[in-house]
Chain A
């Protein structure tokens, strides 16, 4: 079992729709959860982080964490073509290394 799992996609959504990206993790001791966006040919960019169960909203982005189910998700409201990128989920515990999933490719079509 991979430590952090994501569906590779592509996830295709029409412009204006809600894109839902999901991630599961195996280590119950994980404490911090991150979402990165990576455009083709560019480096990953941190867009959201969440530490506590529940929802955290930042603009059009909402991160959701459910530690009991070991599940973290990212919702993108009013999706735009400029949101088309690969979204990486990352999980952290104490002073251990940050563990990345392989990413979900999102395509937003006009």
Chain B
């Protein structure tokens, strides 16, 4: 079945780096744009980044641009988020999500991985 599984979360000190992974299965990964979306404790959803299906373009929310890098390896069916210069306000559950064809919403989500930035 169609599935996304995130990993790589953990506790990290402010200013340090962390890389999240999202393993996709059950669909042709290289045909879909992929997002990272996060949710701080007790808060709403916040879009973080998007990478097009062929990695030709990527886009970021303002608060992470220059610190986070989204990437993908279509040969491994895996999406990544490399986070640098982490701040306390980056503490959240990070979800990867598939962009449906024709921009039909984020139609498949992973279960999320938790990132805690704390000294």
> Do A and B associate with each other?
no
Point out residues on A near B: beta carbons under 8 Å.
Answer: none
